[in-house]
Amino acid sequence: MYIIGENIHIISEKVKEALINRDREFFMDLAVKQVEAGASAVDINLGPRKKDWAEVFPWMVEAVESVVDVPLSIDTTNIDGMEAALKTIKKNQPILNSTSAEPERLQKIPLLAKKYGAKVIALTMAAEGIPVSADDRVNIAVEKLIPRMMEIDFPMSDLIIDPLVLTTSGCQQYCPHLIETVRTLQYAWEPAPIISVGLSNVSNAVPNENRPLINRVYLSMLMGVGLQMMIANPFDKDQNNVIKWIETKDMSTSLSRLYNKIAERIAASDEPQPEDFDMQDPEQGAIWKTTQILLNKVIYADGYLNQ
Amino acid sequence: MPVEIPKDKWTGKVRTVTLGATAAEGGTRTKSIVVGGDTTMPFMQFEAPTAHTPVIAIEIKSRKPDDWSSLLEETWGSVMSDPAAWAKAAEAAGADMIVLWLSLEDTADDAMRAVKSVLAATGLPLAVYGPGQVDKDNELLVAVSESANGEKLLLGICEDKNYRTIAATSMANGHLITARTAMDVNLAKQLNILISDMGLPLDRVIMDPTTGALGYGMEYGYSVMERLRLAALQGDAMTQLPMMVTPGFETWKTKESKVGVGVPEAWGDWKERAIHWETLTATALLESGASIVVLRHPESLKRVRTAITELMTA
């Protein structure tokens, strides 16, 4: 699993404060720790920075690149900010995060990526908003995103498609669609496009104590349909265990067998079954309930584990 | 060639809830009402007969409302100043149940007196709603709950902000509660879980998933109710509660119902339009799974009754 570490994100209070103080050490440390924890790239999401982009983006890139040797993912809607970052990056092929199928962004951002030899993450989102069905998302990729890349002679190996994870709290009915989108996208083009998701979106608006469980159960399902890249929290040890178990087909514990079973079921276009779970074990019971929420079998509620 | 009608088979069932206690059950109601028990989507009589006929309640106030349409004042007349007389008139108009809304100006004594007078004036099961401010609701409803111990009143409105107080007093005094959330399946289910965690048996809870009037979000409320019913039939215990909605409250605040002048002539007769609005909203909501609809106009009651009768025998 290629993890783009998500922790340098302006939504975090600590990041916000460190940025105000231009605390270089803080960001260097956070980048190093993410890579040590297994991140293959580091995402940098500072928001649009409409006023100070010319100063902030190069400053951040320089700080992070001085201590880690992995690609940086420039996560902003500000195209000028993106370019300022790209001009500063020296070490590895950067990732632009992101374009969508909205005409203006799709016009400019792939050209920018091409100019600087960057990879680009393209969201399956058009001007009309986020499409909900699997078919609609695949269609955006095949009819809008990929043709635009071909038009400008952009290497397909540098295109990463993000089919947009939606939260189980409020958009639950679309969680199964995303799984099917990831499955189908791999057959939508030859060679199969690289796919990445923002995993933790699946638990947006969920109480914090339940988020990691929802994230890792969804991850096991997505790995079942072949997910190999995601933006995620590399510090989540339970999540990293699930990745390792599924990647190595580790059957040594009841939990590793269970997560492998979930991945297998989803891989076979099947659903996890009650007999896959030891319901006497509270942890397995909680995982079962989570699969039912994520497959839209049972309506999500904040207290779903207590039901 | 014979055509076989496809039938759904469901594993789940909506809980059965009894409102109002007769003398034999420790109350003073001349009859109680049973709602819920559904095993199919609404009115799919060919799959299974509807377990209990949906119920029409009439909304009255403890004090004469000053913001109601003159059409409603015209039809109810002077009884609107006297909740007991109003309840009697509602019963005479054919209501199955009375919903008494208390007012912000009421003291606990006023509220208890109003409830007592309504209980004396009619034998129908009674719901008592607070004025809609958490602190005031708690103050009035706790007093009412204690003074009408054992009547199996339906107390409302119970929301995430105040469910503890209302559920506790209901538990202590043998009443029921309405669990109201704002048109959201996740929140509706969550409130039911919280209430259940407190120890109030769910066969004493009615869900109010909230709705909008025709043209004002009714279709959104419709979808929420439909989804809750589907989940209930699929076996989700925390959604297996009968639903109650308030189309009267919703439609009589729309411009179409409230205003008779300064609107396009093509809108037609004001009174007819207002009654259509209430009737159509209520009927659609019955089709989406409501067990209780709360109305304001007696003519709407009559028309919705006709619709229910036809749907029950279709």
Q: CATH number, domain at A26?
A: 3.20.20.20
Q: Would you say residue A284 lies in a domain?
A: no
Residues of A in contact with B237 (CB under 8 A): 307
Residues of A in contact with B186 (CB under 8 A): 169-170, 172, 299-302
Q: Would you say residue A109 lies in a domain?
A: yes
Q: Would you say residue A306 lies in a domain?
A: no
pLDDT surpassing 80 at residue B314? no
**What's the CA angle centered on A139, arms A135 and A140, to 5 degrees?**
125
What residue in B sits closest to A307 (Cα-Cα)?
Answer: B193
Residues of A in contact with B189 (CB under 8 A): 299-301, 304
Contact residues, B window 133-192, toward A, CB-based 8 Å cutoff: 184-187, 189-190, 192
Smallest Cβ–Cβ distance between B190 and the set A172, A298, A302 belongs to A302
Q: What is the ipTM of this complex?
A: 0.82
> Do the beta carbons of residue A74 and residue A44 sit within 8 Å?
yes
> Do the beta carbons of residue A202 and residue A231 sit within 8 Å?
no
Smallest Cβ–Cβ distance between B238 and the set A172, A297, A301 belongs to A301
User: Confidence class of residue B223 from pLDDT cuts 50, 70 and 90?
Assistant: very high
The span from the CA of B103 to the CA of B130, in Å, is 7
The span from the CA of A231 to the CA of A175, in Å, is 17
Residues of A in contact with B160 (CB under 8 A): none
Helix (H, G, I), strand (E, B) or coil at B101: strand
- Per-residue buried b or exposed e for B209-231, using 16+ beta carbons within 10 Å of the residue's own CB: bbbbbbebebeebbebbbbbbbb
Answer yes or no: do B238 and A169 touch at CB < 8 A. no
Region B155-182 average pLDDT? 95
Q: Would you say residue A6 lies in a domain?
A: yes
Distance from CA of A305 to the nearest CA of B (A): 10
Answer yes or no: do B227 and A172 touch at CB < 8 A. no
Check residue A188 and give its pLDDT.
87
Q: Which domains does chain B have, with CATH numbers?
A: 16-313 (3.20.20.20)
Residue of B10, B160, B183, B193 best to disrupt the A interface, most CBs of A under 10 A:
B193
Answer yes or no: do A301 and B228 touch at CB < 8 A. no
- Check residue B15 and report its DSSP letter: P
Residues of B in contact with A298 (CB under 8 A): 231, 234, 236
> Do the beta carbons of residue A171 and residue A292 sit within 8 Å?
no
Model confidence pLDDT, tens digit, residues B129-139? 999 999 999 99
Answer yes or no: do A172 and B186 touch at CB < 8 A. yes
The domain tally of chain A equals 1
The boundaries of the domain holding residue A44 are: 2-236
Distance from CA of B5 to the nearest CA of A (A): 26
* 3-state SS record for chain A: CEEEEEEEECCCHHHHHHHHCCCHHHHHHHHHHHHHCCCCEEEEECCCCCCCHHHHHHHHHHHHHCCCCCCEEEECCCHHHHHHHHHHCCCCCCEEEEECCCHHHHHHHHHHHHHHCCEEEEECCECCECCCCHHHHHHHHHHHHHHHHHHCCCCHHHEEEECCCCCHHHHHHHHHHHHHHHHHHCCCCCCCCEECEEHHHHHCCCCHHHHHHHHHHHHHHHHHCCCCEEEECCCCHHHHHHHHHHHCCCCCCHHHHHHHHHHHHHHCCCCCCHHHCCCCCHHHHHHHHHHHHHCCCCCCCCCHHHC
Strand pairing category for A72-75 and B154-158: unpaired
Owner of token pair 């919703």: B250
Smallest Cβ–Cβ distance between B189 and the set A170, A297, A299 belongs to A299
Answer yes or no: do B186 and A301 touch at CB < 8 A. yes
The span from the CA of B224 to the CA of A249, in Å, is 41
Answer yes or no: do A299 and B231 touch at CB < 8 A. yes
Answer yes or no: do B186 and A302 touch at CB < 8 A. yes
Q: Would you say residue A171 lies in a domain?
A: yes
* B233 shares contact with chain A (CB less than 8 Å): no
Smallest Cβ–Cβ distance between A299 and the set B194, B197, B236 belongs to B236
Answer yes or no: do B197 and A306 touch at CB < 8 A. yes
Q: Would you say residue A173 lies in a domain?
A: yes
What residue in B sits closest to A302 (Cα-Cα)?
Answer: B190
Distance from CA of B270 to the nearest CA of A (A): 39
Smallest Cβ–Cβ distance between B193 and the set A169, A172, A301 belongs to A301
Q: What is the CA B185 to chain-centroid distance, rounded?
A: 18
Q: Would you say residue A293 lies in a domain?
A: no
What residue in A sits closest to B238 (Cα-Cα)?
Answer: A307
Model confidence pLDDT, tens digit, residues A219-251? 999 999 999 999 999 999 999 999 999 999 999
The pLDDT profile of chain A, 307 residues, written as one tens digit per residue, is: 999 999 999 999 999 999 999 999 999 999 999 999 999 999 999 999 999 999 999 999 999 999 999 999 999 999 999 999 999 999 999 999 999 999 999 999 999 999 999 999 999 998 888 888 899 999 999 999 999 999 999 999 999 999 999 999 989 999 999 999 999 999 988 888 999 999 999 999 999 999 999 999 999 999 999 999 999 999 999 999 999 999 999 999 999 999 999 999 999 999 999 999 999 999 999 999 999 999 999 999 999 998 7
> Do the beta carbons of residue B74 and residue B112 sit within 8 Å?
no
Q: Would you say residue A286 lies in a domain?
A: no
Number of Cβ pairs closer than 8 Å across A and B?
39
